[in-house]
Amino acid sequence: MTDYPLNKGAYQPARLSVAPMMDWTDRHCRYFHRLLSSRALLYTEMVTSPALVRGGALHLLRFSPEEQPVALQLGGSDPAELAEAARLGAEAGYAEINLNVGCPSDRVQSGTFGAVLMRDPKLVAECCAAMIKASPIEVTVKCRIGVDDQEPSDVLPEFIARVAGAGVSRFSIHARKAWLQGLSPKENRDVPPLDYDLVHQMKGLFPALHLSLNGGVTTLDEAVAALERGMDGVMIGRAAYHQPGDILMDADRVIFGEAALDRTREDVVRAMLSYIEQHIDGGGKLGQVTRHMLGLFAGQPGARHWKRHLSENAHKSDAGAHTVLDAIDKMHAARPVL
């Protein structure tokens, strides 16, 4: 039996999670987010099971233990391949394996994955059953409320019932449909209207399941309201990425009822410096880390100067920790003297 030392489970942390976001929630982003909240559950970008299993792209699974709890999101629709990918994810130490049934990209070279699977709950159930059998850690699902001309109030309960029947007890539901034709992935995150009421109704129908609401939540107050209305968790994507200081720094206190981390935003920047130095020593570029930190001071005096200095300098060949400290100085210099 393989030992999974890093897996501490993710049921409690799922009360607040940062959504999986391709090209955004990479390991550098998650390391940074973890310094802002010790409790929130963090998701990887989607990794497709063909890339892992057929392509052998195991480097996609690398992460720092400090990021835990981290959930690995998989994309795919072949039960055997997803099972193997889930096994690899568990072996790599992830706290949870999540299946993507929400991305609006339909057929790609690597096969079917994402929201199109809302049309095939039986296949999703088979995939989940295979993943659960292959992996000792929890398997969860992220889905939409429906796609195209489906009637969400019909298909969503049927979908959840089927997939829960395969052994999944935790779902994150993006509270809008995806239109598989005619809308870009970006439009599919804004154009189809949100239907929070329907997601809340699912909690009433399936009280034993752990259900998280996703889509359009932009403040911790809104997250608290959804929890108070009965949801088990809230998943936040874009707002957590663009205003990580506002969403994540208060999360331990507001969402988890713990003491807030005794850290200012600048302390977090300073805590990132050794990670940044290691990354650069290993051949990485400053901008690969700092691009996720541009919104840290959003709404604070001088934030524009922080962002501008990093945007203009982080790609330079001699950029390093000193560039980050300079960006803080620029921000201070732009603040009014009281």
Ligand X SMILES: Cc1cc2nc3c(=O)[nH]c(=O)nc-3n(C[C@H](O)[C@H](O)[C@H](O)COP(=O)(O)O)c2cc1C
Nearest distance in Å: CB 216, ligand X: 5
Residue 46 near ligand X by CB under 6 A: yes
Residue 18 or 137 having the CB closest to ligand X: 18
Residue 71 or 261 having the CB closest to ligand X: 71
**Dihedral over Cα of 30, 32, 33, 35: its sign:** positive
Which residues, 6+ apart, have CB-to-CB distance to 193 below 8 Å? 176
**Dihedral over Cα of 120, 130, 8, 230: its sign:** positive
Nearest distance in Å: CB 243, ligand X: 11
Residue 50 near ligand X by CB under 6 A: no
Candidates 118-126, 215-223, 294-302, 326-334: pick the segment binding ligand X (CB under 6 A): 215-223
Verify whether residue 29 is a known catalytic residue. Answer: no
Rounded Cα distance between 63 and 33, Å, is 13
User: Where in 140-169 is the site for ligand X (CB under 6 A)?
Assistant: 142
Residue 189 or 330 having the CB closest to ligand X: 189
Rounded Cα distance between 250 and 316, Å, is 34
Q: What is the dihedral of CA 19, 79, 137, 233, to 10 degrees?
A: 30
Rounded Cα distance between 229 and 47, Å, is 33
User: Where in 233-292 is the site for ligand X (CB under 6 A)?
Assistant: 236-239
DSSP per position, 115-167: GGGGG-HHHHHHHHHHHHHH-SS-EEEEE-S-BTT--HHHHHHHHHHHHHHTT
- Cis ω on the peptide bond leading into residue 65 (within 30° of 0)? no
* Terminal C-alpha separation, the chain: 62
**Dihedral over Cα of 70, 60, 235, 171: its sign:** negative
Residue 174 or 307 having the CB closest to ligand X: 174
Given 50, 79, 102, 245, the residue binding ligand X (CB under 6 A)? 102
Residue 77 or 214 having the CB closest to ligand X: 214
Candidates 18-26, 150-158, 260-268, 311-319: pick the segment binding ligand X (CB under 6 A): 18-26
- For the chain, how many helices (H) and strands (E)? 14, 10
Residue 192 near ligand X by CB under 6 A: no
Cα–Cα nearest to 213, from 191, 240, 232 = 232
Nearest distance in Å: CB 176, ligand X: 8
Nearest distance in Å: CB 87, ligand X: 21
Given 30, 87, 177, 189, the residue binding ligand X (CB under 6 A)? 189
Which residues, 6+ apart, have CB-to-CB distance to 257 below 8 Å? none
Given 89, 93, 192, 216, the residue binding ligand X (CB under 6 A)? 216
List the catalytic residue out of 103, 127, 128, 143.
Answer: 103
Residue 295 near ligand X by CB under 6 A: no
Given 217, 294, 314, 327, the residue binding ligand X (CB under 6 A)? 217
Give me the active site residues, please: 103
Tell me which residues touch ligand X (CB under 6 A).
19-24, 45-46, 73, 100, 102-103, 142, 174, 189, 214-217, 236-239
